[in-house]
């Protein structure tokens, strides 16, 4: 018999509350159960919303210094515990240890950044057009925010939503992805340890299909910040519009990486390998379409194929591993379906094999799809796995047209040594973020994050731009 820890509970007000115990399993080793996590039900969700509403009374008018202190302390605790939290993240999500630890550090830095934002908050004053009247513009917290996060960045995304929500005086009901409750539970515990008052953050774990509707329909929820799939994001946005709730959705990507004839080949290969395959390709910012001009196409696919074949796939907890497992069976099967589809659509596939390891896990070797065209479904739909396609184009103009030819618009990259092309691409890429000689994935914690079209809806996340979602403007006239 495996030793089981006590059930990890939901946090509602000042109570850790049980629920249906649900195992959290390691994707690198199905025999390794990380623990049992209590799934909440709809009535517990109602209690969590009520606790957040009650706590808003005092948290919304707390001193910015109080909010700074809590977030700064929580950031310090996360940084101090980077190794154990990194282990937990690697074990429950399958991101390799180096990436998992880097994500934990990012979460710590995010909280420290937003600690500073709490005290940097300022308003505007302007002269009225009327004599003897003052005009002031201030920002206030929005209210109770529902935060719904995905499994692929199980500590960084919660941190970059919770950080600004709390810094600006909102209270929160936090529903993490059911696949990665461990990091969410640890983050909330750390916020409490750092002095966060009762009810300011409430944690409800479980499936979106069980909790989502009750959360969205509660009249006490004033805003929803969501990261996840396009269909779910669209549903949430429509529902919030209907109920006039504030909403922010970060959804999919089909990010292009253009490689021009004049690219530095070492820079291009490094950017494409990282962008396409690191974090097992499970990033909305992943480079999934490698668009290569004809003069360098042969050299590129040869070098990429060699590099792809050399990537070491294995347990996320083995320090020698470069590519960890796919997160679960559903994603694994979806990846295999896309590989079948690529084959049927006429692509040539390099890699993309099931990999046997000492432990049973969802191991898939990275796949490069060659001889693909922009109209293939594998070049139009988000795959969200270690699979990237190569599209050969005649020249820069065709590369730009193909890069912009999807319903998405999150991140767009270009590898070139030409200042003219880099400059032109920065203007013409139809994307929220443009990367020159860098992978499409991997962003700074203090800069705005977000995309266009089907990729994002609502104001940007992160950096000082985060206040656009988490605060509401008030204009005061004094005569």
Residues that bind ligand UN1 (CB under 6 A): 150, 152-153, 227, 250, 283-285, 441-443
Cα–Cα distance for residue pair 166/256, rounded to 1 Å: 35
- To ligand UN1, the closest distance from the beta carbon of 201 in angstroms equals 20
- By CB atoms closer than 10 A (0-12, 13-18, 19+), residue 54 is middle
199 versus 325: smaller Cβ distance to ligand UN1? 325
Q: Are 237 and 225 in contact (CB under 8 A)?
A: no
- Helix ranges, 194-328 (H): 208-217, 230-242, 265-277, 294-310
Strands (E), 104-179: 124-127, 134-141, 144-148, 171-175
What number of H helices and E strands is found in the chain? 14, 20
8 versus 283: smaller Cβ distance to ligand UN1? 283
Task: Give the DSSP H or E segment for 159.
Answer: helix 156-167
35 versus 256: smaller Cβ distance to ligand UN1? 256
Sign of the Cα torsion 189, 193, 198, 200 reads: negative
Active-site annotation holds for 284: yes
Q: Which of 93, 99, 103, 250 is the catalytic position?
A: 250
141 versus 253: smaller Cβ distance to ligand UN1? 253
Virtual torsion, Cα 342, 343, 349, 355, nearest 10 deg: 90
Q: Are 430 and 453 in contact (CB under 8 A)?
A: yes
Cα–Cα distance for residue pair 38/16, rounded to 1 Å: 10
Sign of the Cα torsion 219, 224, 229, 230 reads: positive
- To ligand UN1, the closest distance from the beta carbon of 107 in angstroms equals 12
Q: Residue 81: which residues within 8 A CB-CB, separation 6 or more?
A: 104, 190
Q: Which of 99, 284, 382, 461 is the catalytic position?
A: 284
36 versus 249: smaller Cβ distance to ligand UN1? 249
- By CB atoms closer than 10 A (0-12, 13-18, 19+), residue 323 is buried
- 3-state DSSP call for residue 320? coil
- To ligand UN1, the closest distance from the beta carbon of 410 in angstroms equals 8
- To ligand UN1, the closest distance from the beta carbon of 473 in angstroms equals 26
- To ligand UN1, the closest distance from the beta carbon of 174 in angstroms equals 16
402 versus 443: smaller Cβ distance to ligand UN1? 443
Cα–Cα distance for residue pair 404/414, rounded to 1 Å: 12
- To ligand UN1, the closest distance from the beta carbon of 221 in angstroms equals 22
Cα–Cα distance for residue pair 298/304, rounded to 1 Å: 10
73 versus 95: smaller Cβ distance to ligand UN1? 95
Active-site annotation holds for 240: no
| Paired residues of 134 in beta bridges | 127, 478
Name the token pair of 81. Answer: 């515990």
- To ligand UN1, the closest distance from the beta carbon of 156 in angstroms equals 7
328 versus 398: smaller Cβ distance to ligand UN1? 328
- To ligand UN1, the closest distance from the beta carbon of 74 in angstroms equals 21
Cα–Cα distance for residue pair 456/346, rounded to 1 Å: 31
68 versus 160: smaller Cβ distance to ligand UN1? 160
- To ligand UN1, the closest distance from the beta carbon of 231 in angstroms equals 15
Could you give the C-alpha distances from 475 to 59, 123, 137, 164, 458, in angstroms and in order? 22, 10, 5, 22, 22
- Which backbone phi and psi does 291 adopt, to 5 degrees? -105, 110
By annotation, the residues acting in catalysis are 250, 284
């Amino acid at each position: 018999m495996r030793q089981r820890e006590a059930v990890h509970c939901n946090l509602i007000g000042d109570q850790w509350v049980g629920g249906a115990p649900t195992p959290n399993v390691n994707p690198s080793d199905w025999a390794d159960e990380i623990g049992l996590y209590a799934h909440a039900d709809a009535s517990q969700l109602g209690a969590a919303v009520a606790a957040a509403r009650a706590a808003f009374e005092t948290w919304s008018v707390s001193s910015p210094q109080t909010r700074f202190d809590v977030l700064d302390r929580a950031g310090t605790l996360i940084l101090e515990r980077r190794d154990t939290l990194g282990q937990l993240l690697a074990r429950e999500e399958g991101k390799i240890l180096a990436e998992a630890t880097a994500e934990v550090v990012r979460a710590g830095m995010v909280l420290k950044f937003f600690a500073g934002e709490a005290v940097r908050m300022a308003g505007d004053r302007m002269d009225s057009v009327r004599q003897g009247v003052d005009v002031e513009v201030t920002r206030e917290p929005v209210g109770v925010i529902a935060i719904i996060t995905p499994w692929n960045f199980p500590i960084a995304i919660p941190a970059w939503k919770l950080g600004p929500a709390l810094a600006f005086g909102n209270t929160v009901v936090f529903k993490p992805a059911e696949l990665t409750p461990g990091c969410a539970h640890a983050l909330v515990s750390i916020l409490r340890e750092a002095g966060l008052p009762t009810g300011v953050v409430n944690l409800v774990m479980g499936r979106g299909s069980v909790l989502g509707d009750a959360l969205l329909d509660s009249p006490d929820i004033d805003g929803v910040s969501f990261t996840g799939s396009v269909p779910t994001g669209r549903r949430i946005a429509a529902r919030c519009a209907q109920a006039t709730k504030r909403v922010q959705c970060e959804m999919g990507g089909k990010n292009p990486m253009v490689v021009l004839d004049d690219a530095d080949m070492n820079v291009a290969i490094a950017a494409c390998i990282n962008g396409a395959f690191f974090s097992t390709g499970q990033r909305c910012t992943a480079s999934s379409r490698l668009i290569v001009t004809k003069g360098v196409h042969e050299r590129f696919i040869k070098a990429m194929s060699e590099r792809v074949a050399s990537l070491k796939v294995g347990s996320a907890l083995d320090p020698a591993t470069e590519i960890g497992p796919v997160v679960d069976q559903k994603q694994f099967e979806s990846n295999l379906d896309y590989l079948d589809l690529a084959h049927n659509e006429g692509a040539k596939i390099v890699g993309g094999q099931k990999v046997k390891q000492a432990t049973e896990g969802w191991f898939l070797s990275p796949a490069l799809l060659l001889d693909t065209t922009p109209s293939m479904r594998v070049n139009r739909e988000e795959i969200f796995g270690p699979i990237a396609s190569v599209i050969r184009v005649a020249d820069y103009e065709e590369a730009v047209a193909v890069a912009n030819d999807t319903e998405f618009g999150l991140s767009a990259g270009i590898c070139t040594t030409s200042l003219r092309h880099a400059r032109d691409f920065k203007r013409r890429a139809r994307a929220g973020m443009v990367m020159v000689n860098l992978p499409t994935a991997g962003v700074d914690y203090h800069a705005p994050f977000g995309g266009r079209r089907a990729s994002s809806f609502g104001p940007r996340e992160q950096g000082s731009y985060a206040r656009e979602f988490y605060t509401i403007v008030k204009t005061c006239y004094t005569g």
